[in-house]
Structures are given as C-alpha cells and as structure tokens.
Amino acid sequence: MGATTLVVLASLALMAGGAVKGTTGLGLPLVAVPLLAYLVGLARATELMVVPIVATNLAQSFQGGNLRAIARRFWPLLLPLLLSIVASAYMLVRLPERVLDLILGVALVLLAPLLHFGTRLRVAPHQERWLSPLIGLVSGALGGFSTIFGPPVMLYMRALRLGKTEFVAALSLIYLIGSLGIFIGIYGVGPGHLSGLWLSAAACLPAFLGLWIGFRVQGRLSEQRFGQVLLGILMVIGASFIARSL
C-alpha cells in the first residue's frame, strides 16, 4: 500500500470515529482504532489516537459541576483506571499481535450490544463500593490496549442513574484522567515515541472534521436507526478481528 493511500484511508478512519462521536457523544476510539489497526497494526493505531483523545476529552472536561465532590466519590474508580491503563499499555508491545487482535475483537463484540441495549441496567448504592474499582480496572485494561476505555464507564454512569449535572461532571473527570493515563502509558512505557508525537497531533485534523460532520447530521438521523447501524458495524469489525487472530 502506497504512503498516499495509507494517509487517505487513515484520515477516513479518523473522520468516521469523529463523526460517530459528534453524533452520539462517544465512539472516537471505538470506531477509529479498529479501522486504523487494519492499516497499521493495533500498537501504532493506539499511538496515533493519543493526542486526538486527549484533545477531545480536555475540551469535554470543562463541562460539569463540582469536580471535588465527584473526585471524592469516584476515586475508587479513577485510581484503578489510571494504574491499569499504564500497566496494559506496557503489555501492548510485549504481547503477540494475534493476542491483541483477539482482545480487541472480543471487546467490540461484547461492548457493541451492551452499548445498544444496556440503558436499562441499574446499580444500587451498596453495589458501588465494589463495582467502581472493578469498572476502573476493566476499563483501564481495555484502554491501555486499545484506547477504548469510555464505553464501560459510560454504561456504569448510566446504571448509577446520576443527575444530568453530576453525570456530565463525572464523565468529564473520568475521561480526563483516562486520557492522561493513555498518554502516560503509550508514551511512557508503551510503544509510543515522543519524536512521532507530531503525527498523532496531525491526526486531530480529520478527527475534528469528522466531529464537525457528526454535529451537523446529528439532528437529521433517527437515533434508533443510527444505533442499529453502528451496532452492526462494530459487531462485524469485532468478529473480523477474532477471525484474524485464529
């Protein structure tokens, strides 16, 4: 594959992820990373996604309410999230690519229906004590391998039935900590090299263009139909990664 073709296809992958995030509020790495992994491998794909993820989550972090209260409530999630992201990023260059493909494929196949059908999940207050660290560990482990840590956190926050202000504030803080953890993990102990950071920064351009497109078409699409199409796409991508790993 020629360099020009690779750049065009990678840009389209980033635009697709940005468009999904602009339409649904999440999905930048969920869509872009698997598509990029087909082109350059999972380790390189995660390296390219670092700056776009940090940039979009920094922008989102200015939303929300009392972050001190949110941090006090959710530190049992935030600390395992940060530590497990760094730990799994360390393993990213030490595991065979087939194993990484299998992990990503299984994650997509499991997460896609959960995101689509999981709105009725509910977590009782007494369950939060042990579920928060577990969600932090699982999300962080997945995030270090693939930068996809947001969907499990989003499902958990929905299941807690937080108020709108608290929901936005909690996600803002968690996404900020998670994105910083990805940066530390990928460029500190993972496959990233600071000399290539400019390429990840350049990836922001198609990602934000896709984000703008997503905002533009958001009101013109049936949310139910869009969710069904996205579910099908993610399931197919996930199954293809599982098949590729076997």
Q: Which one-letter amino acid corresponds to residue 244?
A: R
Q: Please report, for residues 57, 110, 161, 172, the alpha-carbon distance to residue 69 in angstroms, rounded to integers and kept in the order given.
A: 20, 32, 17, 13
Distance of CA 113 to the CA centre of its chain: 16
User: Which residues are CB-neighbours of 69 under 8 A, at least 6 positions away?
Assistant: none
The answer to whether the CB of 190 falls within 8 A of the CB of 146 is no
Say if residues 37 and 45 touch (Cβ distance below 8 Å).
yes
Give the separation between CA 199 and CA 193, rounded to whole angstroms.
11
Query: Could you give the CA distance from residue 8 to residue 5 in angstroms, rounded to a whole number?
Result: 5
Walk along the chain (246 residues) and give the pLDDT tens digit of each residue: 677 888 899 999 999 988 887 776 667 888 888 889 888 888 888 888 888 888 877 766 655 556 778 888 899 999 999 999 999 988 887 888 888 888 888 888 888 888 777 767 888 878 999 999 999 999 999 888 888 888 888 889 888 888 767 777 787 788 888 888 988 888 888 777 777 788 899 999 999 898 888 878 766 666 666 677 777 878 888 888 888 887
Q: Where are the domains of the chain?
A: 3-245
